Amino acid sequence: MADERVKVTIDGKEHEVQKGSNLLEACNAAGANVPFFCYHPGLSSPAVCRQCLVEVKGAPKPVPSCYTQCTDGMVVETKSEKALDVRRQMLEFTLVNHPIDCPICDKAGECMLQQQYFDWDGKYARNEGIKYRKAKTVDIGKHIVLDQERCILCTRCIRVCDEVAKAPELTMAKRGSSEVLTTAPGKRLDNPYSLNTVDVCPVGALTSKDFRFQMRAWELESTPSVCTGCATGCNVEIHASRGQIYRMIPRDNAAVNKHWMCDEGRFTYKPVHQHRAAVPVVGGAPVAWDTALDEAGRRLKAVLQSEKDRVGVVFNANSTNEDLHVLARLAFDHLGIARAYVAGRDQGSSDDILISADKNCNTAGVRAIGGTKLKSLVDLASDVKSGAIAALIVVGDDGVLGSGGRDGLDALPLNQLETLIVLASHSGALTDSAHVVLPMALWAELNGTFTNKLGMVQRVHKAIDPAGDSLPGWEILCHLSRRLDAAIDFDSARAVFVEAKQKYSFMIGAEWGRVHLPIQLRFAASRG
Amino acid sequence: MSAAEDTSLTPRRIVIGIQDKSDLDAPELPSDPMPLNMGPSHPAMHGTVRMVLEVVGEKIASADVQVGYLHRCFEKESEYATWTQIFPYTDRLNYVSPMLNNVGYALAVEKLLDIDKKVPERAQYIRVIVGEIARACDHMTCLGAGGMELGAFTAFLYMVKAREWLWELLEEISGARLTHSFVRVGGVTGDLPDGWAEKLRAKIVDVRRVLAEVDGLLTRNRIFRDRMDGLGIITKEQAASYGITGPVARATGLDYDVRKDYPYLVYDQFDFDVPVGSVGDNFDRYACRVEEIQQSLRIVEQALDKIPAGPIVMADPRIVLPPKTETYNTIEAMISHFKLIMDGIHVPAGEIYSFTEGGNGELGFYVVSDGTGRPWKLHCRAPSFANTAIMPSLLPGHFIADIVPIFGMINMIGGECDR
Amino acid sequence: MAQQVLDRLKSHFQGGELEDTGSQHGNEWARVRRQDWHAVCQFLRDDGETTMDFFIDITAVDRLTQVPEDRPRFDVVIHLRSSRTKHRVRLLVGVSEADPTVDSLCDLWAGANWFERETFDMYGIRFNNHPDLRRILMYPEFIGHPLRKDYPKEKRQPLVRRDGAADGGGWK
């Protein structure tokens, strides 16, 4: 029954679709470009906006295609005179009370209303009446501002809260011209998925406080990537302009995150621009790369020759698979270091929607690559205290070892170490104690892969240039390896991936994929 | 015997009443081919072009004409600009007749949008009027500069004075003497101001008077004729093979004018002639241009008589910016304004080669659209580029002094040739 | 501009030389197979019916991201006209990035010389048997082909005169 195919004629051409599939999706898959506001592939379809009306032979009036299922022999006209006229009328109604806000509205440039007026209406206004006034800047939640006048009453946000976040915090109130979006009595828009309402809002009614007035949409360039906030690995798009990231929005992936992501994940772009370790540092003073690498090599060589069993390596559950692979090769295969530890962020809250308790984005990767040798930070602390470790190479730190607390920096008497080499992206207590700091690029600045909790190896693409002089971790380790007479050489992250894929079973089936150059949003179709 | 036929090494001498012939028997001086660089910065090289010549005595043995010194990446920039933002770039192609470039480009985009028949008639007449004024100015500049380079400075000053009158009128209608950006997709930006038509008619009378004066100075001038007659002869077959168009081609006898052969705008409504030469030498090119100015003025007068009342721009908010009163007061016009400025006109995907008669010949725009508000490719087929291509084969056999009039009459406009 | 030209081409070339023909916005066009480029153009010039003696334009289009990966990246485009019939036609030939060469038409129309030089300069397409294939708009030491879609618009190159530059500065 699910695989039964039916024949539907759309605009004169016959198409074969699955029985019962959504007519709007079938039309748009056939290239008819039927406009819509309230429909969203991830939400239920209430057919409130009536923008997707098409003519179906045999039906007495135009039908909303988002609410209609395909049946065998259906004949659909999406561009007949009646259909176009009705489309225009609906847009006219929608625009009747819409405020003239385009110059100050954040959604301008990615607004569905603008796009559909331009494509399907194109007539000057007929009504000269005064527009109905509503509240302009309503603070309805922790992250969101509502402009009631711009709202076109499509109810997508209400359905997101109800169906995706399972937190019915929004509702429509009143009727007719005075109908407004508002919070349910006693509630605020505070659920952990609230910012998805900003994504699905076709107009600029719901705007993110973080992004409001920061940057115009058409100046942004979009790069596909993966969120590194937890082990779910929601697919995202990084929107950046001139080396600065402004926001992250979810990218569709039916297997991982469908069309959504959590609010906390959206803010993981902020640390990319804060407290970065940007230059190599030796003994507290910034130096050139060669100097730092030579110093690190010298120190490590000395201790490796005399007391190899007192050298430790700390892997990080947030490093890319490429960084981990090169580190494993260097530490285990070439240098024969026995003591290996794994560091990561603390566990946190979770829910059964998207948020994982494991706040590390590559736990699966580090377990597979590091193997069973990896010990925890607690063991590291006791080993350092007991003097079993004299030298430590820490790869990857985004404040995790410096977070304090039981597993954090407080427990580690770093001053006891004779040699502490840190490959870090952020400066903090750990880099302050290090003898050599080698600055690392972060996930948004490099090409690499992470493995989520489902075992899927997902690719991140480079959105902006690395901060300061920082380099990807695997590249730093290659340079370091040369100083340690263990020359590991890769000319690209892709080369590392290719080698790692042959070695680790969890990477079977993983693809590096095509190069993605950042795409300017000004050429992209409207969001929604 | 014309210079092109004289292949001996003795320099040509004009004997004027010299009775003592002893200097005519002077022994021939030995001469090796000498490289001579002309340009790119040279008073007679309009629009910067470099000619690397090999001369034997005074005679040119070979000429390597190197263009590209004024290349300003018109095509690359167009790929990143909206359709409307390209108009100022087109102004700077053939910068002595910018209106013609504006019109040519607008027609190309309009054809892709399938609205070329829907542009209001008044706008089409205005386009013809300003286009023909621009053509007249282009030819006046060419002839004046051509005269000046041969020493007839007065001719240049007279022509430039006449040109300035016309430019004042264009300034009144568009706001700028030279870089008008006057035309838009779907119409023009401004209507004829009150009294402009009368001023133009009066000025045409004055311009004709100046043209008659310059004609008297140059056309039967012994020195001018000696330097122009029989030089730089191009044949009809050469013109077709090189793709030479415009007055240079018509001077060869090739009867090809886009306005007559493939009429566009409202050119089929006017009664005008197209001068065609017979010899294809410098003088024919000069004469064609002189006559074309007269015909352009004739077209302008007829257009002023026939121009209908009406709108000057299409009333489609998807193509033309809405009036400001609408933009500030209705959301529909605001959206239209916004999308037109930020996205650009959504021109359906496709490609077209659209061509008009520019000042120097067939000005073509090969436009490839990918369906967005910016072109995927915008190639300008510059008539000057094709016309200048014949120079390396035209110059050899002529004297160094002949380069200047030949090059002047080919009228390479650097901005158009190099784009 | 001229359906007759397309008909004549289609009736004369039946062996797959014409990959596609069409008419759009009043422009007739034909897509030619690369190895037959010269032959088809020569036919158009010499045939008594088409007599395309008037050369108009040669350029190229970089179709990067618009064509699937197995199709050639560039299209070399020529526009021709007949003085006698006033017909016009556009011919396109697909040129791949891996082997960006196509036959030159300099022996058919003299104007092809400079236009092919410009196409080479801007797109890097080499024309076989071209008598003088060097850059025409850019200076000889320029590296790259600017109108290609992957050449960034903002890229700057200083003009540095190096000995042994491609054409020696014009002295042959």
A99, A108, A523 ranked by CB distance to B372: nearest:
A523
SS (H, E, C) A42-111: CCCCCCCCCCCEEEECCCCCCEEHHHCECCCCEEEECCCHHHHHHHHHHHHHHHCCCCCCHHHCCCCCCC
Interface of A with B in 479-518 (CB under 8 A): none
Residue C109 and residue B241: Cβ atoms within 8 Å? yes
Q: Is the confidence at residue B298, as pLDDT, over 90?
A: yes
Query: How far apart are alpha carbons A522 and B162 in whole angstroms?
Result: 47
Query: How far apart are alpha carbons A111 and A194 in whole angstroms?
Result: 19
State whether residue B68 sits within 8 Å of chain C by CB. yes
Residue B338 and residue A523: Cβ atoms within 8 Å? no
Q: Report helix, strand or coil for A258.
A: strand
DSSP states of A165-185: S----EEEES-GGG-EEEEPT
C57, C110, C170 ranked by CB distance to B364: nearest:
C57
Q: Select from B320, B331, B342, B372 the residue whose CB has the most chain A CBs within 10 Å, as the one to mutate to test that interface.
A: B331
Interface of B with A in 308-327 (CB under 8 A): 316-318, 322, 326
Share of chain B above pLDDT 70, in %: 92
Share of chain A above pLDDT 90, in %: 56
Query: How far apart are alpha carbons B363 and B351 in whole angstroms?
Result: 17
Among left, alpha and beta (phi > 0; psi -120 to 50; other), residue A357 is alpha
As a 3-state breakdown, chain A gives helix, strand, coil percent values, each rounded to 5, of 30, 20, 50
**Distance between terminal CA atoms of chain A?**
31
Token pair in block for residue C106:
């300099």
Closest CA to C79 of C60, C57, C62: C57
Q: In what order do the strands lie in the sheet with A144-146?
A: A138-139, A144-146, A206-208
Contact by Cβ (8 Å): A421, A435: yes
The pTM of this model reads 0.83
Residue A99 and residue B331: Cβ atoms within 8 Å? yes
For the segment A436-459, what is each residue's pLDDT rounded down to a tens digit?
A: 999 999 999 999 999 999 989 999
Query: How far apart are alpha carbons A483 and A479 in whole angstroms?
Result: 7
pLDDT bracket for residue B285 (50, 70, 90):
very high
What one-character DSSP code corresponds to residue B33?
Answer: -
φ, ψ (nearest 5 deg) of residue B208: -65, -35
Which parts of A424-526 fold into alpha helices (H)? 429-433, 473-483, 493-503
pLDDT bracket for residue A54 (50, 70, 90):
very high
For the segment B164-174, what is each residue's pLDDT rounded down to a tens digit?
A: 999 999 999 99
Q: Tell me, what's the pLDDT at B28?
A: 65
Partners for C (CB, 8 Å, 3+ pairs)? B
Contact by Cβ (8 Å): B324, B378: no
A100, A119, A522 ranked by CB distance to B331: nearest:
A100
Element (H, E) at B74: helix B74-78
Residue C110 and residue B389: Cβ atoms within 8 Å? yes
- Identify all chain C residues contacting B379, using CB atoms and an 8 Å cutoff: 57, 59
SS (H, E, C) A461-473: CCCCCCCCCCECH
- Identify all chain A residues contacting B336, using CB atoms and an 8 Å cutoff: 117-118, 122
Q: Tell me, what's the pLDDT at C89?
A: 94
pLDDT bracket for residue A411 (50, 70, 90):
low
Contact by Cβ (8 Å): A42, A54: no
Interface of A with B in 123-142 (CB under 8 A): 123-125
Which parts of B252-318 fold into alpha helices (H)? 258-261, 282-306
Element (H, E) at B364: strand B362-369
Query: How far apart are alpha carbons A316 and C28 in whole angstroms?
Result: 63
Token pair in block for residue A13:
């051409």
B331, B342, B372 ranked by CB distance to A98: nearest:
B331
Q: Tell me, what's the pLDDT at B103?
A: 95
Query: How far apart are alpha carbons A268 and B394 in whole angstroms?
Result: 68
Partners for A (CB, 8 Å, 3+ pairs)? B
Alpha carbon C79 to its chain's center: 9
Query: How far apart are alpha carbons A361 and A229 in whole angstroms?
Result: 6
- Identify all chain B residues contacting A114, using CB atoms and an 8 Å cutoff: 335, 338-339
For the segment C108-132, what is each residue's pLDDT rounded down to a tens digit?
A: 999 999 999 999 999 999 999 999 9
Residue B362 and residue C55: Cβ atoms within 8 Å? no
For the segment B17-62, what is each residue's pLDDT rounded down to a tens digit?
A: 444 555 555 566 666 788 999 878 887 767 789 999 999 888 899 9
Element (H, E) at A250: strand A244-250
φ, ψ (nearest 5 deg) of residue C61: -125, 135
pLDDT bracket for residue A391 (50, 70, 90):
confident
- Identify all chain B residues contacting A119, using CB atoms and an 8 Å cutoff: 346
Task: List beta partners, residue A206.
Answer: A146
Q: Report helix, strand or coil for A282.
A: strand
**How would you classify the pairing of strands A221-226 and A206-208?**
unpaired
C27, C77, C137 ranked by CB distance to B67: nearest:
C137
What are the C-alpha distances in Å from A373 to residues A329, A401, B252? 14, 20, 89
State whether residue B82 sits within 8 Å of chain C by CB. no
Quickly tell me which residue has 């195919």 as its tokens: A5
Contact by Cβ (8 Å): A172, A155: yes
How many C-beta atoms lie closer than 10 Å to residue B40's C-beta? 17
State whether residue B346 sits within 8 Å of chain A by CB. yes
Mean pLDDT within A177-189: 90
Q: Looking at A383-494, which runs of residues are DSSP E strands?
A: 391-395, 419-424, 436-439, 448-451, 457-460
Q: Select from B320, B335, B370 the residue whose CB has the most chain A CBs within 10 Å, as the one to mutate to test that interface.
A: B335
Q: Tell me, what's the pLDDT at A130?
A: 86
- Identify all chain C residues contacting B376, using CB atoms and an 8 Å cutoff: 61, 66
Helix C3-12, helix C37-46: angle, nearest 10? 120
Share of chain C above pLDDT 90, in %: 58
Token pair in block for residue B159:
């022509």
Contact by Cβ (8 Å): B165, B188: no
State whether residue A522 sits within 8 Å of chain B by CB. yes
- For B188, counting Cβ atoms within 10 Å of its Cβ (0-12 exposed, 13-18 middle, 19+ buried), the class is buried
Mean pLDDT within A50-70: 92
